Copies of this chain bind each other. A is one copy, B any other.
Amino acid sequence: MSSSHAFDQAIALTPLSDNLYRGATSDAFQNMVGPFGGTTAATLLNAVLQHPQRLGDPVSLTVNFAGPVGDGEFEIEATPLRTNRSTQHWLLLQKQNGEVVTSATAFFATRRDTLSEQQLSAPPAPSAGTLQRVDISIRNWFKQYDFRFVHGIPLMPRPADQPADTESLLWIRNHPERALDYSSLTALGDVFAPRIFLLRESFTPSGTVSMTHYFHATSDELAKAGTGFVLGQAKASRLHSNYADQVAHLWSEDGVLLLTSTQSVYFKE
């Protein structure tokens, strides 16, 4: 592995045999229980990206967080379930001590030029350079990102005259800077805190159970985004009986929609 960036180290995998890889959790991306889910998702995607049978680029990825990932080594089984002429479906299982801790499915495809239409514009936001970096250092992984909030900082009390709102809008990028690619975009799609934090204005035990990314970005669009910030918007539609959804979008600095992402998130009460 040539890159010394902490993110590349965190998602690095060693091939063990056909369809089998070994990786290890990273202190730099430690969350409250186990690693930051975005790193786990990016590591699973990475197994496909470096698989010798891989066809095309990621279009969709679903990651199911089945159980806590313990500190240390894990294995990833990456199995191509079905390969068509220009599309490929994958099953990914992350295991520790023989037990599934994360499952995922991914869909890859070769993409061609077609009609191109963006229906959802980036929300108006002051440029990242005019906003203060929020220094949240209570979890290791926070330090690996540069967060610049426009609104919706989790856990912050809101003015008494303001209605409950679960929307966050913020600029984000890797810290230190790192050029955007499918791996880092995958992780960036998971940087939004549980929406329950915005309703409660205080900590509630909570965690993502399933996350789905749709990659709009083609490789040339990622190259163009470079080391720039991405603008992220996330909001919940409903929070009910222990589970909430989250619908999120990420745009490049020049307003290109790169990712649509959804999550189902557990919350305790």
Kindly identify which residue among B103, B111, B116 contacts A91, using a CB–CB cutoff of 8 Å: B103
Q: Are B119 and A235 in contact (CB under 8 A)?
A: yes
Task: Label chain A's interface by main secondary structure.
Answer: strand
Known: A59-B243, A237-B260; 13 extra A-B contacts, CB below 8 A, are: A59-B209, A62-B64, A64-B89, A91-B103, A107-B209, A109-B243, A118-B239, A118-B240, A119-B166, A120-B238, A214-B245, A214-B264, A245-B260
Is A242 touching B107 in the complex (CB atoms < 8 A)?
no
Contacts of A120 in B (CB 8 A): 237-238
Instruction: Mark A165-194 against chain B: 1 for CB-CB distance below 8 A, else 0.
Output: 110000000000000000000000000000
Binds B, one of A32-40, A79-87, A153-161: A79-87
Q: Is the CB of A240 within 8 A of B116?
A: yes
8 A-B pairs with C-beta separation under 8 A: A59-B209, A62-B64, A66-B84, A67-B84, A103-B105, A114-B267, A117-B236, A247-B262
Residue interface mask A124-166, B partner, CB < 8 A = 1: 0000000000000000000000000000000000000000111
